[in-house]
A and B are shown apart, each in its own frame.
Chain A
Amino acid sequence: MNLLSYIVSRLLQMIPVVIGVSLVAFLAIHLVPGDPVQLMMHGRATPETLQAAHAKLGLDQPLLVQYWNFIRNAATGSLGTSIIQNADVGKIVGERLLPTVLLLVTSAVFAILIALPLSIIAARRSDQLADHVIRLLGIIGFAMPPFWVGIILMLFFGIYLDWFPISGYGRSFGDRMYHLVLPSLTIALFLAPILIQSLRAAILDVMTAEYITVARAKGLGPWRVLIKHALRNALMPVTTILAVNIGWLLSGAVVVEYLFSFPGLGSLLVRAVGQRDYPVIQGLSLVFAILVLFVNLLADLSYMLIDRRVLKA
């Protein structure tokens, strides 16, 4: 199989999932018990405003027509209108997409920076004291809820030491990175234990390969074999591990964004739920799912570019 046909078949595989995801997002607004518009307006809507709002949201049309319009609009980036904010949902969500993506990227970078040295040590000293200590730290790290870790980090680095800002999102790029430190560290501390465990297993797995035995037989030191020879192959699954856990990463981001008043998709979701802004909730659920699917696709493709052997399988 060549590169192009792999990409095409991978994209074709996504079609039923995308249809299913869009169906779930579409039906979200229709499964609300009672009239969604009436709920959004806290029961104060008059029959005229109700009718106008229904027409604006397209709720007065047959279900299939509504679904077709939803798909057609979504394909062009339009996700309906928020009655409450009186603005296009696509625009509201679009403004917040970049901060969340940035948060995910910096969190992943932090997680790798934490996990890489620890997993190397754990694999190098497997079943010795250092390995057990790292595993215990991992268990504690995994058991710490992100919103609690965030509060501790805020207290210590934000207030006690006063090193980093504890809320918001800066204006310039540098300022933004500065604001991203604590939220991404919070998510990274939750992600790192999972990464450490997978990386440690990957390194130990690679260490049994023949080319490692050859490198050892040449008389290379254990650290050199590990870092120059084994690590390259052991690192390849990292993209996959990160992609598989993108759902958890985003789940963590929702809570952390809310805690740090960070203007991303997650804090928007929490606000929209509080305001019962159903069009925004609908649009956001679609964007979240597409984001997950896109990251998984990207990981698959990059994995294939790094390791062409995947194509032969």
Chain B
Amino acid sequence: MEYSKALNLPLRRRLAEEFSRWPMTLKIGSIMFLGIVLAGIFAPWLVPYDPYTQDLNNTLQPPSLTHPFGTDNFGRDVLTRVLFGIRIDLPFGFLTTYVPMVYGVVLGAMAGYAGGFFDGILMRVLDVVVAFPFLVLIIVIVAILGPGIFNIYLSIFLTAWTMYARLARAEMLVERNKDYILAARNLGYGPGRIVFRHALPNVINSSIVFSMSDFVLNIMLVSGLSFLGLGVTPPTPEWGAMIAEGRDFIFEAWWISTLPGLALVVTGAALCLIGDGLAQRLGERRHALI
């Protein structure tokens, strides 16, 4: 009733109404995240320096007005590199979260609905994948395939869907016995239509909430791999690679390692706040963290 009334309102009113229902955490998180995205897009116009050009007369300068985050061992402006890092870390986090989410949710939902043999096989595969610590699995796959950003994508696409499959399956087991599903079945709809058009919108919420934590963990993953020397290679302004580079100068120039990490924390906090707010808005039991 309320929903059909809302549909008749003009779009602007509907958006305003939706926005007014957002919890504070969701609003703050979204604004922070939007700011980070914009800073990444407009990075070349925000700072006068180039992230790659070395200036050997200006190495290891502490933070000052001309270099708010200082300069690194090659005289490159750290703030510039942090801003350009958004262009590497955010798309990576986005793709490694939402690509596996698509097929993870679909597989989990189908297994939960169908049950039987397909479900049994999927569950055994999940058990095996989950038995390996995630980072260990990624490192081993990267070791097999060889280093490089493409292989990191591949290794995550191979493994990261499992968590979503698990969540969607668990939700589907509850959902499949509800009246509206039985009604749809009695109307003669096939399992494809029931899963995709009727059940999916109801089993996806927990995955959406989890995807925010997953986004954070995936950004940490690529920066962690780069930190270990298995991910993005040095001249590229990736946050983890920058932290690793600055580690050698930690005694004389603390800013090279610590300030790029701050970018990671701010991005992660924004995403967690969104996740926390979404959990509230969607009426989910589970919260943002893991």
Contact = CB atoms under 8 A, between A and B. Distances in A.
B272 A143 contact: yes
Contacts of B227: 147, 255, 259
Contacts of A117: none
Nearest to A31: B144
A155 B267 contact: no
A159 B251 contact: yes
Interface stretch (B2-10, B33-41, B187-195, B253-261): B253-261
Contact of A270 (B132, B228, B268, B273): B228
Contacts of B290: 194, 245, 248
Contacts of B266: 143
Contact of B145 (A33, A144, A269, A274): A33
Counting chain B CB atoms within 10 Å of each CB, which of A148, A154, A245 scores highest?
A: A148
By DSSP majority rule, is chain A's interface helix, strand, loop, or mixed? helix
B99 interface: no
Interface stretch (A43-51, A179-187, A206-214, A288-296): A288-296
B174 interface: no
Given A20-B124, A151-B250, A281 B224 contact: no
Given A17-B128, A155-B254, A194-B290, A148 B264 contact: yes
B289 A255 contact: no
A248 B131 contact: no
Given A147-B224, A147-B243, A21 B268 contact: no
Interface stretch (B48-56, B72-80, B133-141, B177-185): B133-141
Contacts of B257: 148, 151
B100 interface: no
Contacts, number: 151
Counting chain A CB atoms within 10 Å of each CB, which of B125, B143, B223, B258 scores highest?
A: B143
Given A143-B272, A255-B135, A152 B258 contact: yes
A138 interface: yes
Contacts of A154: 250
B35 to A, nearest CB: 16
A66 interface: no
Contacts of A197: 287, 289
B265 A144 contact: yes
B268 A144 contact: yes
B269 interface: yes
A80 interface: no
Contact of A285 (B140, B243, B261): B140
B269 A140 contact: yes
B229 interface: yes
Interface residues of B, number: 51
Contacts of A28: 140, 144
B233 to A, nearest CB: 14
A250 interface: yes
A151 B265 contact: no
By DSSP majority rule, is chain B's interface helix, strand, loop, or mixed? helix
Nearest to B147: A273
Contacts of B124: 16-17, 20
A168 interface: no
Contact of A145 (B130, B223, B289): B223
B288 interface: yes
A142 B216 contact: yes
| Size class of the contact patch on chain A | 35 or more
Given A151-B243, A151-B258, A254 B136 contact: yes
Nearest to A252: B135
Contacts of A254: 133, 135-136, 139, 228
Contacts of B145: 33
A193 interface: yes
A281 B269 CA distance: 34
A97 to B, nearest CB: 14
A96 interface: no
Given A145-B220, A273-B230, A285-B140, A20 B128 contact: yes
Nearest to A145: B220
Interface in B219-277: 220, 223-224, 227-230, 240, 243, 247, 250-251, 254, 257-258, 261, 264-269, 271-273, 276
A32 interface: yes
Contacts of A151: 243, 247, 250, 257-258, 261
Kindly list the 5 A-B residue pairs having the minimum CB-CB distance in the complex, ordered from nearest: A143-B268, A148-B261, A251-B135, A20-B128, A250-B133
Interface of B: 124-125, 127-128, 130-137, 139-140, 142-146, 213, 216, 220, 223-224, 227-230, 240, 243, 247, 250-251, 254, 257-258, 261, 264-269, 271-273, 276, 287-290
21 contacts: A17-B127, A20-B124, A20-B131, A32-B144, A139-B288, A144-B265, A145-B264, A147-B227, A148-B265, A151-B243, A151-B247, A155-B254, A197-B289, A201-B287, A247-B133, A248-B134, A250-B135, A273-B139, A273-B143, A285-B136, A288-B132
Given A32-B144, A254-B228, 7 more contacts: A21-B131, A28-B144, A151-B247, A201-B287, A254-B135, A269-B136, A292-B132
